[in-house]
Chains A and B, each alone.
Chain A
Amino acid sequence: MITIDKLGFSFGVDWVLKNITMTLEEGKIYGLLGENGVGKTTLLTLMCGLKDASRGSIDIDGRKPFDRSPLLLEQMIYLPEASATRSLVAAEYATEQGCFWKNFSLDKFHEIMAEFENDPARRMDKMSAGQLKKTYISFALACNCKYLFLDEPTNGLDIPSKTQFRKAIMKHTADDSTIVISTHQVRDLENIIEPIIILDKQDVLHNASVEKIESKLFFDYGTVAKSDALWSEALPGGFIQVLRNTDGEQSKINVEALFNAVHCNKETIKNIFKK
């Protein structure tokens, strides 16, 4: 379990994150959403110990990530948005690096690479950006870590690969894994992320499970514009509108509409979810 308590981080005098408090439980795939520059990547790097908190604390299974204890490091993997090229073939890279993660499986790496239709015998410096990303995703999943921190994992992937990514995440991660995915590509991942965390400048604007969102908000896909909608967007043939769920009616969450509704009605949404 990841416990974040009053976490703050600043670059000099500029506070990127202030007073973040939340708990990330086992067995969930957290979607970390937010506008550019609100600190999503910073929060991810703080959780995996690449940065030290300016104030407050992060605790992962009783350890502080910035201590970079090998016992904690072998339980986590971080996939940054940018992928580094290597003058190695993919399988060689996986073998060389994988031996440091006690649960790493080379067979699984080859299996996921095959699912992505990616050639493990290809040199990484000869791969396209998408192929390189798929190699790193395959490696990350083959490490069988308890904690996965993925920063924009679907950036650069083609449409079949995005589908494959969702399948791979569901198939190749353990039930007790905690996965945090930071993304702007909400449509790519809206069927797998649960709960949804929305970061605002320096703060957590929204952190709720799909069940709770469904109970508090109603996503209307009708043809009539409603005046009391928290968010409304015209689509071909109708609207997508976010309304208060006063009747307890079930609806399918549209993460993009949720994000916009939260951003346009910060205090209102906070009050709705407080109740």
Chain B
Amino acid sequence: MKCEFNWKRFGKYFLYDLKCMKRKVLPYFIIPVLAPVALELIWRLGETVRFSSVYAHGTVGGPELFIRQMIFLVAIVLMVMFAPGRLYGELTDKVKGSEWLMLPASRGEKFLSMELISVLILPVVFLAGYYFTDWLICIFDKSVGTSLFNADKAGFVEKEFEYAINIRIWKIAYYSVAFLTGALLFKKPRWKIAGTIVLICLVAAMTAGNLRLLSRIEWFNNFLNYLLESGIYAIFKIIFPVLIIGGLAVINWFKIKNLEH
């Protein structure tokens, strides 16, 4: 089987995929992206009610950074869980999946476009939208303090290089690919998200269990200490997300390659 990759055709397919993303996913981004506005309104309403009481005194203000970060986290989790499945989950559907397979672009072109959109485009568009809304809130309401973007940027600059890879977008990327894999592996729509969560929990539990068992072995502890002291662990921490994304991408590739309807 020859890999027939053509950059011009890839460009055409990628544009088509972006259009599908715009149609299928972006309208659903509006709800989480407007979450900072809803939070601000609800918070202010709550504060107004609270301070209208004779016993409480204070100034009505917006939600502090920590609260906004928590809501941001919830929005990210929702985006990561739903967006890849919404965009590519239908590939397991007989009719829509057949249409996708019959579209004249090579497997490699379709795969690359799918991975780029899941790993990069979806998280970037979502983060840009969310950061922008939060930034607008910060401009109009000085009481909320620094914006989420500035807080994330400061955290990133303060930390050492070994943590650089763990910036928010990177974490979102590999969970996004994980949910993409789930969307491709599970045929029934209700299992696409639930099944992926179960799989992630299983893998996490197995990893934690194995590490606990291994930590009882002396040479393993020595080995871990060596990794920590020599700086290899720092490098491993950088390449670990790459390995996860790479591994999941390999699963996705084989799923696409052997997809039949």
A contacts, CB < 8 Å to B: 45, 48-52, 67-71, 73-74, 76-78, 80, 82-84, 87-88, 96-97, 99-101
Q: Which B59-97 residues have C-beta < 8 A from chain A?
A: 93-96
A87 cross-chain contacts in B, Cβ below 8 A: 23
Residue of A nearest to B99 (CB): A84
Give the A-B contact count at a CB cut-off of 8 A. 63
A97 cross-chain contacts in B, Cβ below 8 A: 103
Apart from A50-B261, A78-B102, A88-B23, 12 more pairs, CB < 8 Å: A45-B98, A50-B98, A51-B261, A68-B101, A68-B106, A70-B104, A76-B102, A80-B94, A80-B98, A84-B96, A100-B13, A100-B16
| A100 partner, pick from B4, B12, B23, beta carbons under 8 A | B12
- Give the docked Cα–Cα distance between A76 and B19 (Å): 24
A96 touches B19 (CB 8 A): yes
B101 cross-chain contacts in A, Cβ below 8 A: 49-50, 68
- Give the docked Cα–Cα distance between A84 and B261 (Å): 14
- Give the docked Cα–Cα distance between A73 and B99 (Å): 11
- Give the docked Cα–Cα distance between A82 and B106 (Å): 25
- Give the docked Cα–Cα distance between A22 and B33 (Å): 58
| A101 partner, pick from B13, B98, B104, B106, beta carbons under 8 A | B104
B1-28 toward A: CB 8 Å interface, digit per residue (1/0)? 1101010010011001001000100000
B106 touches A80 (CB 8 A): no
Residue of B nearest to A87 (CB): B23
B95 touches A83 (CB 8 A): yes
B94 cross-chain contacts in A, Cβ below 8 A: 80, 82
Minimum CB–CB distance from B177 to chain A (whole Å) comes to 23
- Give the docked Cα–Cα distance between A95 and B146 (Å): 46
A51 touches B260 (CB 8 A): yes
Interface size on B, residues (CB 8 A): 27
Minimum CB–CB distance from A111 to chain B (whole Å) comes to 22
B98 touches A78 (CB 8 A): yes
- Give the docked Cα–Cα distance between A48 and B104 (Å): 12
Residue of A nearest to B105 (CB): A70
Known: A82-B94, A82-B95, A84-B96. A70 touches B19 (CB 8 A): no
A73 cross-chain contacts in B, Cβ below 8 A: 102-105
Indicate if B187 sits at the interface (CB-CB under 8 A): no
B99 touches A68 (CB 8 A): no
B105 touches A48 (CB 8 A): no
B260 touches A100 (CB 8 A): no
Best-surrounded residue of A50, A52, A83 (most CB of chain B within 10 A): A50
A84 cross-chain contacts in B, Cβ below 8 A: 93, 95-96, 99
A77 cross-chain contacts in B, Cβ below 8 A: 102
B103 touches A67 (CB 8 A): no
- Give the docked Cα–Cα distance between A50 and B101 (Å): 7
Indicate if B44 sits at the interface (CB-CB under 8 A): no
B13 cross-chain contacts in A, Cβ below 8 A: 100
- Give the docked Cα–Cα distance between A71 and B96 (Å): 21
B106 touches A70 (CB 8 A): yes
B105 cross-chain contacts in A, Cβ below 8 A: 70, 73, 100
Minimum CB–CB distance from B9 to chain A (whole Å) comes to 6
A101 cross-chain contacts in B, Cβ below 8 A: 104
A68 cross-chain contacts in B, Cβ below 8 A: 101, 106-107
Minimum CB–CB distance from A83 to chain B (whole Å) comes to 7
- Give the docked Cα–Cα distance between A84 and B91 (Å): 12
- Give the docked Cα–Cα distance between A101 and B106 (Å): 13
A69 touches B12 (CB 8 A): no
- Give the docked Cα–Cα distance between A87 and B96 (Å): 13
Best-surrounded residue of A68, A84, A87 (most CB of chain B within 10 A): A68
- Give the docked Cα–Cα distance between A83 and B96 (Å): 9
A100 touches B103 (CB 8 A): yes
A50 cross-chain contacts in B, Cβ below 8 A: 98, 101-102, 260-261
| B6 partner, pick from A49, A70, A76, A83, beta carbons under 8 A | A70
B205-245 toward A: CB 8 Å interface, digit per residue (1/0)? 00000000000000000000000000000000000000000
Q: Which B31-70 residues have C-beta < 8 A from chain A?
A: none
| B4 partner, pick from A45, A51, A70, A88, beta carbons under 8 A | A70
A67 touches B102 (CB 8 A): no
A49 cross-chain contacts in B, Cβ below 8 A: 101-102
A78 cross-chain contacts in B, Cβ below 8 A: 98, 102
Minimum CB–CB distance from B86 to chain A (whole Å) comes to 12
Residue of B nearest to A84 (CB): B95
A52 touches B98 (CB 8 A): no
B2 cross-chain contacts in A, Cβ below 8 A: 67, 69
B260 cross-chain contacts in A, Cβ below 8 A: 50-52
Listed A/B pairs (10) with beta-carbon separation below 8 Å: A50-B260, A67-B2, A70-B9, A70-B106, A73-B105, A80-B95, A82-B95, A84-B96, A100-B13, A100-B103
- Give the docked Cα–Cα distance between A240 and B105 (Å): 50
A-B CB proximity, top 7 nearest: A73-B104, A74-B104, A84-B95, A100-B104, A70-B104, A50-B261, A51-B260
